[in-house]
């Protein structure tokens, strides 16, 4: 039944592009919201047996056979599906808030639903060729979304994304071809088995290296991060929410986690690359954020840094490190989406993202200011918010794996995270109200609803994390 998560969005795109006139424009955003809410409801409520059922097309053809792929849904997949649905829903609300033109909303909704199909496909497939196809569907939708408003900055961001995405695609296709030569198949299981027997061959090592570099570009990890700040900053606000909240995480980081865990394995060379790459991304992203004036560019560099923590946890291998990486991947999709939602509110109400032209707006926009503080503290790993627990797991997992220096560096880097976010809060939300912000008003309900929803998840997950660990995952005392 997992295939429905791909087929229904594709059918939604077809429906919206039937000759329905103005009705299609009015249905577009609501349809995207309904698909996201339905996906979240199914993930939260459906029993495990629901996902094991095969889906057949008219004529008795299995969807899995049609695509030459299986569609298993495990715990990691459920986490990602929930993240995709939550971020997609919030992105649609921000589009309603910031895009006054119904034609623009219609185009955005079409691309959002298409991206939903691509992202869900990435999660579902267990075949490298199918994975490549869904990565490209997501990349094409993302490229057009960045350029949606057709301004000079938008085309600049879209062009950088297109060029780097093409390089990533070339690397992934090269790795895919080499792995097919090694394994004679593109299924995860067959490639994993072939790498166990010939993993030390030059061909296999080159294939893994190509894949790791391609996915690092998709994720915006250092040193392949050049496209990300420009793309995030130049895209429309609702698109920035979608890109930062889930697209780069699914296309790059989730895929990296899945392939390392299920295909490439945790060999010493792979672990070392992940540990070093993760730590470099943490530090470079944090230092880059410190020097920014544009609010969205600062948040973009922050995303680079936080994804470094996920990769660092993955480098620690199975156990606490991997659990922390997955938990932080979900946490980051929530609190970083919240920060971009609030950035959209600030830009929409004030007309600027230049933090030096803002100041004291918490007095005018108290909900936006308060939820931004919660997201900032969670990102920095301040207890008891959700970001604290995932960072704790990562640091403990890396230490347990025998890399105390990396653990210590990750903790110290959290101070840099707190520094650049305190700078942002001081310049934007704290202090005396700037003269240019004297007439500012709080965001409308379309901007406040996603902010309050995401803030509630951040706080709720943080407060209940010890109970969740002891009940479902592990004894918190063993970590502390």
- Assigned domain for 156 exists: no
- Assigned domain for 478 exists: yes
Domain count, the chain: 1
pLDDT in tens, 10-19: 888 998 888 8
Q: 61-62 and 56-57: which strand pairing?
A: antiparallel
Q: What is the C-alpha separation between 246 and 242, in angstroms, rounded?
A: 6
Of the candidate ranges 125-129, 294-298, 470-474, the one whose mean pLDDT is the lowest:
470-474
**pLDDT at position 475, please?**
45
Mean pLDDT of the 441-461 span: 91
**pLDDT at position 476, please?**
42
Mean pLDDT of the 234-249 span: 90
Query: Nearest-CA neighbor of 123 among 307, 227, 276, 262?
Result: 262
- Assigned domain for 436 exists: yes
Q: What is the pTM of this model?
A: 0.92
Q: What is the C-alpha separation between 238 and 345, in angstroms, rounded?
A: 11
Q: What is the C-alpha separation between 49 and 72, in angstroms, rounded?
A: 11
- Assigned domain for 133 exists: no
**pLDDT at position 225, please?**
86
Count Cα atoms within 13 angstroms, Cβ side, for 31: 27
The H or E element containing residue 39 is helix 22-45
> Are the beta carbons of 88 and 112 closer than 8 angstroms?
yes
**pLDDT at position 478, please?**
45
**Token representation of residue 22:** 């103005």
Q: What is the mean pLDDT of the chain?
A: 86
Cβ neighbours of residue 117 closer than 8 Å, sequence gap 6 or more: 6, 9, 10, 13, 137
Q: Which domain holds residue 395?
A: 266-480
Query: Model confidence at 477, in pLDDT bands (50, 70, 90)?
Result: very low
Cβ neighbours of residue 232 closer than 8 Å, sequence gap 6 or more: 157, 240, 243, 244, 296, 297, 299, 300, 303
Query: Nearest-CA neighbor of 340 among 391, 298, 378, 288?
Result: 298
Q: What is the C-alpha separation between 117 and 6, in angstroms, rounded?
A: 5
- Assigned domain for 179 exists: no
**pLDDT at position 65, please?**
58
- Tell whether the model's pLDDT for residue 129 goes beyond 50: yes
- Assigned domain for 391 exists: yes
Q: What is the C-alpha separation between 296 and 243, in angstroms, rounded?
A: 12
Burial class (CB in 10 A: 0-12, 13-18, 19+), 477: exposed
Q: Which long-range contacts (CB under 8 A, 24 or more apart) does 268-273 make?
A: 269/205, 270/208, 270/212, 271/315, 271/316, 271/317, 272/315, 273/212, 273/315
Residue 381, classed as helix, strand or coil, is coil
- Assigned domain for 431 exists: yes
- Assigned domain for 79 exists: no
pLDDT in tens, 325-367: 999 999 999 999 999 999 999 988 888 888 888 888 888 889 9
pLDDT in tens, 41-96: 988 887 766 666 666 656 565 666 555 556 677 788 888 999 999 999 999 999 99
Mean pLDDT of the 34-42 span: 92
């Amino acid at each position: 039944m997992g295939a429905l998560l791909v087929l229904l969005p594709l059918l939604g795109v077809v429906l919206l592009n039937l000759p329905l006139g103005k009705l299609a424009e009015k249905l577009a955003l609501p349809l995207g919201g309904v698909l996201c809410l339905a996906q979240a409801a199914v993930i939260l409520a459906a029993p495990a047996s629901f996902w094991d059922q095969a889906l057949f097309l008219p004529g008795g053809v299995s969807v899995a056979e049609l695509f030459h792929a299986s569609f298993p849904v495990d715990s990691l997949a459920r986490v990602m599906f929930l993240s995709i649905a939550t971020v997609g829903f919030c992105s649609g609300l921000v589009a309603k808030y910031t895009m006054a033109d119904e034609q623009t909303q219609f185009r955005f909704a079409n691309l959002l639903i298409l991206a939903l199909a691509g992202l869900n496909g990435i999660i579902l497939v267990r075949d490298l060729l199918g994975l490549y196809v869904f990565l490209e569907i997501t990349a094409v939708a993302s490229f057009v979304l960045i350029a949606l408003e057709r301004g000079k900055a938008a085309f600049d961001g879209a062009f950088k994304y297109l060029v780097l995405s093409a390089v990533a695609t070339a690397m992934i296709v090269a790795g895919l071809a080499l792995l097919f030569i090694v394994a004679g198949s593109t299924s995860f299981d067959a490639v994993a088995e072939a790498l166990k027997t010939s993993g030390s061959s030059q061909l296999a090592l080159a294939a893994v290296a190509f894949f790791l570099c391609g996915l690092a570009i998709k994720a915006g990890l250092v040193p392949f991060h050049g496209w990300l700040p420009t793309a995030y900053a130049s895209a429309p606000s609702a698109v920035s929410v979608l890109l930062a909240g889930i697209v780069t995480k699914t296309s790059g980081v989730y895929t990296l986690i899945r392939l390392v865990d299920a295909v490439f394995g945790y060999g010493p060379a792979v672990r070392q690359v992940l540990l070093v790459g993760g730590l470099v991304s943490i530090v470079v992203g944090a230092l880059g954020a410190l020097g920014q004036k544009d609010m969205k560019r600062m948040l973009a560099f922050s995303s680079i840094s936080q994804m470094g923590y996920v990769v660092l946890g993955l480098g620690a291998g199975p156990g606490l490190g991997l659990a922390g990486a997955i938990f932080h991947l979900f946490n980051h999709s929530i609190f970083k989406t919240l920060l971009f939602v609030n950035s959209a509110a600030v830009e929409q109400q004030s007309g600027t993202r230049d933090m030096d032209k803002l100041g004291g707006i918490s007095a005018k926009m108290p909900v936006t200011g308060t939820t931004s503080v919660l997201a900032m503290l969670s990102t920095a790993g301040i207890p008891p918010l959700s970001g604290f627990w995932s960072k704790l797991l990562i640091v403990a997992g890396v230490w347990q794996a025998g890399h105390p220096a990396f653990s210590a560096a990750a903790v110290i880097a959290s101070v840099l995270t707190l520094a650049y976010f305190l700078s942002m809060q001081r310049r934007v939300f704290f202090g005396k109200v700037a003269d240019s912000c004297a007439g500012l008003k709080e965001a409308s309900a379309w901007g406040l609803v996603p902010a309050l929803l995401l803030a509630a998840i951040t706080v709720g997950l943080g407060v209940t994390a010890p109970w969740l660990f002891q009940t479902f995952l592990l004894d918190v005392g063993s970590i502390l």
